[in-house]
């Protein structure tokens, strides 16, 4: 889907913002879409490399049916080359090992497995769902018929055409805003910043529930001025109700020599987000920082231990139980109220 034939058997892929022009017999940046005599083929349809039942908070999504589970799947491949990738063994498998592994599963089998697991949603995660778009699209349509929501955990580098196509079936997304400087994206990721910002605004326009994650990495994207720019973009362009997850970095992949993010840096980032007007800020990968508070009175609305909910103080109408302020999100009322 989402490609056009050009000339001399070349095709242009319009799935992500790279918009690769692919010669006959070659592949795009993601390495999982191949041009064969003027027809673009996906090489990963149905090839599930990871398959788990996760708390929705692990995505992380803290304002989308909190306490529910997400049936989470991935295929190999990615259109980014993040030097700090936590899942590089599967995201970079095709590029580095020239392998496309995975257990074959039809969309019907995935939806049936999600129903058996009692999951409220299916999450396309671990690698980049954009590169296995056709598979997510077929699953998502079946899932909606079965009353199951669909979630992307994504780098946000898809095109407007792709979002227009998937949005009737895509209920929520957590988007990695990896930095707020274009040079950082170009140097460490192999991409550009602006398409990610465009996708975030487009998702919001289409009514998809959006939460944003920034992995704060020492010496890469932890400058207070850059964090302020990111927070102000979220507050002004997406809305102050948009949750911002600022996560602690731990050494990984090609950045094994970079130290973990100091907790003080994350606390400073939270203060920057609060000053920008953001109502819901979460410090990830740090114990005891996952609670949801009412932005008006400060009441703990959802008390969490890790990914697990210990206490809820939200009314059946989705408001703060103390002051009555509405809580932003989808399915925020406790289970018994739904």
Provide the pLDDT confidence category of residue 205 given band limits of 50, 70 and 90. very high
Residue 4 is predicted with a pLDDT of: 96
Alpha carbons 24 and 54: distance in angstroms, whole number? 40
Contact criterion met (CB below 8 Å) for 140 and 150: yes
Following DSSP, what letter does each residue of 224-236 receive, concatenated? HHHHHHHHHHIII
Provide the pLDDT confidence category of residue 337 given band limits of 50, 70 and 90. very low
For residue 174, give the nearest of 62, 66, 286, 272 by alpha carbon.
62
Which residue stretches of the chain are H helix? 88-91, 93-97, 107-117, 133-145, 160-166, 182-184, 194-206, 224-233, 263-275
Would you mind telling me the total number of residues written for the chain in this entry?
338
Between the CA of residue 160 and those of 42, 86, 165, what are the distances in Å? Answer: 20, 27, 9
Q: Does the pLDDT at position 272 exceed 60?
A: yes
Residue 164 is predicted with a pLDDT of: 97
Locate the domains of the chain by residue range: 3-42, 47-286, 291-338
Residue 306 is predicted with a pLDDT of: 85
Provide the pLDDT confidence category of residue 338 given band limits of 50, 70 and 90. very low
Provide the pLDDT confidence category of residue 334 given band limits of 50, 70 and 90. confident
Peptide bond connecting 60 to the previous residue in cis, omega within 30 degrees of 0? yes
Locate tokens 């079965």: which residue?
146
Alpha carbons 139 and 134: distance in angstroms, whole number? 9
Q: Does the pLDDT at position 289 exceed 80?
A: no
For residue 30, give the nearest of 132, 152, 154 by alpha carbon.
132
**What's the 3-state SS for 48-61?**
ECEEEEEEHHHCCC
Alpha carbons 303 and 311: distance in angstroms, whole number? 5
Alpha carbons 185 and 112: distance in angstroms, whole number? 38
- Beta strands 39-42 and 33-36 are antiparallel
Residue 240: both structure tokens together: 């102050």
Query: At a CB cut-off of 8 Å and minimum separation 6, what does 276 contact?
Result: 228, 231, 232, 234, 235
Q: Is 3.20.20.70 the CATH number for 47-286?
A: yes
Provide the pLDDT confidence category of residue 158 given band limits of 50, 70 and 90. very high
List pLDDT tens digits, range 43-92.
999 999 999 999 999 999 999 999 999 999 999 999 999 999 999 999 99
Q: What is the pTM of this model?
A: 0.95
Rounded average pLDDT over 100-120: 97
pLDDT over 90 percentage in the chain = 94
For residue 170, give the nearest of 136, 211, 126 by alpha carbon.
136
List pLDDT tens digits, range 29-43.
999 999 999 999 999
Alpha carbons 27 and 18: distance in angstroms, whole number? 12
Residue 258: both structure tokens together: 């970079």
In 10 A of CB 267, how many CB atoms? 14
- Average model confidence (pLDDT) for the chain? 95
Alpha carbons 329 and 326: distance in angstroms, whole number? 9
- Alpha carbon 12 to its chain centroid, in Å, reads 25
pLDDT over 70 percentage in the chain = 99
List pLDDT tens digits, range 3-14.
999 988 999 999
Residue 60 is predicted with a pLDDT of: 96
Look at residue 97 and give its three-state secondary structure. helix
Contact criterion met (CB below 8 Å) for 33 and 11: no
Alpha carbons 222 and 265: distance in angstroms, whole number? 7
Residue 335 is predicted with a pLDDT of: 72
Provide the pLDDT confidence category of residue 196 given band limits of 50, 70 and 90. very high
Rounded average pLDDT over 232-237: 98
What's the distance, Cα to Cα, between the start and end of the chain in Å?
Answer: 37
Longest CA–CA span in the chain (Å) reads 67
């Amino acid at each position: 889907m989402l490609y056009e034939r050009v000339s001399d058997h070349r095709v242009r892929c319009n799935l992500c913002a790279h918009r690769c022009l692919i010669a006959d017999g070659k592949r795009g940046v993601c390495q999982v879409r191949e041009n064969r005599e003027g027809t673009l083929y996906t090489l990963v349809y149905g090839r599930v490399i990871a398959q788990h039942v996760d708390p929705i908070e692990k995505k992380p999504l803290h304002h989308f049916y909190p306490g529910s589970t997400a049936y989470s799947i991935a295929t190999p491949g990615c259109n980014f080359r993040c030097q700090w990738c936590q899942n590089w063994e599967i995201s970079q498998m095709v590029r580095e090992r020239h392998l496309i592994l995975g257990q074959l599963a039809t969309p019907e089998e995935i939806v049936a497995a999600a129903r058996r697991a009692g999951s409220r949603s299916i999450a396309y995660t671990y690698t980049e769902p954009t590169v296995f778009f056709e598979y997510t699209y077929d699953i998502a349509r079946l899932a909606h018929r079965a009353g199951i929501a669909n979630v992307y955990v994504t780098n946000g580098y898809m095109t407007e055409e792709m979002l227009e196509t998937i949005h009737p079936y895509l209920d929520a997304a957590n988007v990695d805003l990896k930095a707020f400087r274009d040079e950082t994206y170009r140097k460490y990721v192999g991409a550009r910043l602006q398409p990610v910002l465009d996708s975030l605004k487009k998702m919001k326009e289409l009514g998809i529930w959006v939460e944003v994650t920034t992995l704060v990495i020492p010496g890469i994207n932890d400058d207070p001025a850059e964090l302020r720019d990111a927070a102000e973009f979220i507050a002004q362009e997406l809305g102050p109700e948009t949750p911002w997850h600022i996560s602690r970095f731990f050494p990984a992949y090609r950045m094994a020599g970079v130290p973990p993010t100091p907790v003080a840096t994350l606390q400073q980032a939270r203060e920057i987000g609060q000053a920008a007007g953001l109502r819901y800020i979460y410090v990830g990968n740090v114990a005891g920082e996952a609670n949801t508070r009412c932005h008006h009175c400060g009441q703990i609305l959802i008390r969490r231990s890790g990914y697990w909910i210990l206490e809820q103080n939200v009314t059946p109408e989705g408001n703060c139980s103390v002051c009555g302020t509405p809580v932003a999100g989808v399915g925020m009322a406790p289970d018994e109220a739904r």
